[in-house]
Chains A and B, each alone.
Chain A
């Protein structure tokens, strides 16, 4: 079992819709959780992080964390074509950061 699992996609949504990205992790001792966006040929850039159960909102983005279910998600409201990218879920333990393989999102105009 992979430590951090994501659906590889591609996930395709129409412009203006809500995109829902999901991630599960295996290490119950994980402390913090990050969502990164990576455009093709570019480096990952942080969207947001969350470390408490519940929801955390930042503009059009909402991260949701459920530690009991070992599940973290990212919702993108009012999706735009510029949101088309690969979204990486990352889980932080004591020293290292473990990344999922990413979900490729396409927002169609």
Chain B
């Protein structure tokens, strides 16, 4: 595709429910990143996928968060038993090959609101 796409654009859920957020990276990009941005804050790194390598999960805030990437393309971020503090914009980015000078291109984000 022309850019990184994410769905849904907005998600409102009740505390305790599970949610799934989807990211479609730019075609051909092997690296995929998930970030979280709370209101007025910077981006918090969550997880990084590079090709078929084991993902770097060092940024996931708790074991309620998990992510997978199927076929080296689409990624799903799952949050189980959502809490109000999970409310944020979840941004996905992809880059060509994950090298240190590689440019990351961001999707439009999913705004998650946990009531």
Chain A residues at the B interface, C-beta cutoff of 8 Å = 4, 6, 31-32, 34, 42-46, 49, 51, 88, 90, 92, 94-102
- Kindly provide the distance from the CB of A79 to the nearest chain B CB, expressed in whole angstroms: 22
Q: Which residues of B contact A45 (CB under 8 A)?
A: 106
Whether the pair B106, A44 counts as a contact (CB closer than 8 A) is yes
Chain B residues at the A interface, C-beta cutoff of 8 Å = 33, 35, 41-45, 48, 50, 56, 58-59, 91, 98, 100-101, 103-109
Partner of B43, one of A6, A46, A99: A99
Partner of A95, one of B44, B48, B103: B48
Whether the pair B33, A97 counts as a contact (CB closer than 8 A) is yes
Whether the pair A101, B41 counts as a contact (CB closer than 8 A) is yes
Whether the pair A46, B107 counts as a contact (CB closer than 8 A) is no
Q: Give Cα distance in the complex from A88 to B35, angstroms.
A: 14
Q: Decide: A96 near B56, CB < 8 A? Known: A32-B101, A44-B43, A88-B42.
A: yes
Partner of A99, one of B42, B48, B56, B107: B42
**A4-B42, A88-B43, A99-B44 known, 10 other contacts, Cβ within 8 Å:** A32-B101, A34-B104, A44-B43, A90-B43, A96-B56, A97-B33, A98-B45, A99-B45, A101-B41, A102-B42
- Kindly provide the distance from the CB of B76 to the nearest chain A CB, expressed in whole angstroms: 19
Partner of A96, one of B41, B58, B91, B106: B58
